[in-house]
A = this chain, B = another copy of it.
Amino acid sequence: MMSDRVAIVGAGMSKFGELWDKSLIDITLEAGMYSIFDSGVSGSEIDGLVVGNMSAGRFTGQEHLGAMAVDMGGLGSIPSYSVEAGCASGGAAVRQAYMAIKSGEHDVVLVLGCEKMSDVSQTEAMNTISVAGDWENEGMFGATFPALYAFMARRHMMEYGTTEEHLAKVTVKNHANAAHNQWAQFQRPVPLEVVMRSGLIADPIRVLHSSPVTDGAAGLVLCREDLAKKYTDTPVYVESSEQSSDTLALHNRKSITQMDAVIRSTRSSLKEAKLTINDIDVFELHDSFTIGEIILTEDVGIAKKGEGGKALDEGITEIGGKFPVNTSGGLKARGHPVGATGVAQIVELVLQLRGDAEKRQVDGAEKAMAVNIGGTGATSIVHILGR
């Protein structure tokens, strides 16, 4: 049976961090168990599994994670596969599950985003992440992601007067939020002056402007709208799921101070959901580097072009502000296990829409938006959720 709307009835995640004592499958199953337990769905009702993962083949020497998770998770013989779209792999997995249910081929689908990044050297981790960019034209020549985002930051500073303090303020805000998130990698506030004195990686980007190397997994249970009330009194609905692409390499873009794929997919997602940006109460925006959050606040329409820094000065993206961004701590402080991130963003928004986000709750949140990007914006996936 085809379903016009898709509901989210379960959400859970593993602790994010450097999890030396756990394997990829350990954390993936942990997220799966938490999300299934949260949903009240019995394992035998799940009829499909989508894994969001970027590069387990390089990070851990294991592919075919779909079959592995079905097998080791005791989920019988259900169909399963992995989805990859760089750092947007998690969002892509959610979108696939959404389409699988809408198509009528599946009724209840488990989504598991995962990445185990700390079991290889920092150099190998950096190279592995770089293959989400244009390896032949960027990574191979030393244009790592910090370097590419440094270009974007410098240009944004030059054109719009954005400052190093703005870059640092994102970190301060997101760490303050993560201090109330038990799943976050860094559960502590960090003062502005510490961020601004932290080591320079690729001028003007400092270590505390960057998301960390993280192990972690996140899970969601999606189902047909008509089944949702069977499992929960507080279903969350996917109001829209939209995706857009841009050039893989940064140097082929007309502008490097915006991400056109984000602009397009945000517009189409708002149109599909019949909402305006002012209707959205809480946001998770992909802040792999803090300049990314600044650019995304502009691209989605929270701030005018060039005024992402000003929005930070005015506090409108803080909890309690008009447009709270990254209440979870974001990629910066919750951590960024690449394949898990897009799923974890939606886990946070589900908690917010249910009113279960505890000390980081946005009062009365009814609509929420997640923006998950791959590379420097070659892929953008936007989900709007509502209760």
A132 on the B face (CB < 8 A): yes
Given the interface pairs A64-B133, A100-B99, A374-B64, the reply to whether A245 lies near B379 with Cβ below 8 Å is no
- Report Cα–Cα, A104/B101, bound state, in Å: 11
Q: Which residue of B lies closest to A260 (CB)?
A: B77
**Is A37 interfacial (CB-CB < 8 Å)?**
no
Query: What residues of B have a CB within 8 angstroms of the CB of A100 in the complex?
Result: 99, 103
A62/B252 in contact, CB under 8 A: no
Docked complex Cα distance between A381 and B66 (Å): 13
Residues of B within 8 A of A134 (CB): 62, 68
Which of A80-88, A142-150, A223-231 lies at the interface? A80-88
B-facing mask of A359-387, CB < 8 A → 1, else 0? Answer: 00000000000000011001101000000
A84 and B63 contact, Cβ closer than 8 Å, known pairs A77-B244, A245-B79: yes
Chain A contact residue count (CB 8 A cutoff): 69
Q: For the complex formed, measure the closest distance between the CB of A77 and the CB atoms of chain B, giving whole angstroms.
A: 5
Bound together, the chains give a CA A70 to CA B378 distance in angstroms of 10
Measured between beta carbons, the chain B residues less than 8 angstroms from A66 are: 84-85, 245, 379
- A299: min CB distance to chain B, Å: 14
Q: Which of B62, B64, B131, B248 contacts A57 (CB 8 A)?
A: B131
Contact partners of A58 in chain B: CB under 8 A: 57-58
Q: Which residues of B sit under 8 angstroms from A79, Cβ to Cβ?
A: 95, 242-245, 381
Chain B contacts of A88 at CB under 8 A? 81
**Chain A 50-99 residues near chain B, CB threshold 8 A:** 54-55, 57-58, 61-68, 70-72, 75-86, 88-89, 92, 95-96, 98-99
Q: How far is the CA of A66 from the CA of B100 in the complex (A)?
A: 19
Is A34 among interface residues, defined by CB-CB distance under 8 A? no
Q: In the complex, what residue of chain B is closest to A252 when comparing beta carbons?
A: B71
Chain B residue numbers with a CB within 8 Å of A127 are 61
| Contact A82–B81 (Cβ < 8 Å) | no
Whether A2 sits at the interface, judged by CB under 8 Å, is: yes
Measured between beta carbons, the chain B residues less than 8 angstroms from A75 are 245
Nearest-CB residue, chain B, relative to A242: B79
Chain B residues within an 8 Å CB radius of A72: 248
Contact B81 A85 (CB under 8 A): yes
Q: Which residues of B contact A135 (CB under 8 A)?
A: 61-62
Partner of A83, one of B55, B68, B83, B103: B83
Q: Which residues of B contact A252 (CB under 8 A)?
A: 71
**A128, B78: Cα distance in complex, Å:** 25
Write out the residue numbers on chain B whose beta carbons fall within 8 Å of the beta carbon of A374: 64, 67
Residue A264 CB within 8 A of the other chain: yes
Q: In the complex, what residues of B have CB within 8 A of residue A89's CB? A: 81
A340 part of interface (Cβ distance < 8 Å): no
Q: Tell me which residues across on chain B come within 8 A of A95, comparing CB atoms.
A: 79
Q: A103-B99, A244-B79 are in contact. Are A131 and B71 (CB under 8 A)?
A: no
Q: Which of A85, A101, A249, A375 has the most CB of B within 10 A?
A: A85
Q: Which residues of B contact A80 (CB under 8 A)?
A: 85, 243, 245, 379
A sample of 27 cross-chain residue pairs with beta-carbon separation below 8 angstroms, ordered by A number, consists of: A2-B103, A55-B57, A55-B63, A61-B135, A62-B135, A62-B136, A63-B86, A63-B131, A64-B84, A64-B85, A64-B374, A66-B84, A67-B85, A67-B86, A67-B374, A67-B379, A71-B245, A71-B247, A71-B248, A71-B249, A79-B243, A81-B84, A81-B89, A82-B84, A82-B85, A96-B99, A100-B103
Across the A-B interface, the 10 shortest Cβ-Cβ residue pairs: A79-B243, A102-B103, A67-B378, A64-B86, A103-B103, A81-B85, A99-B103, A82-B84, A81-B92, A70-B245
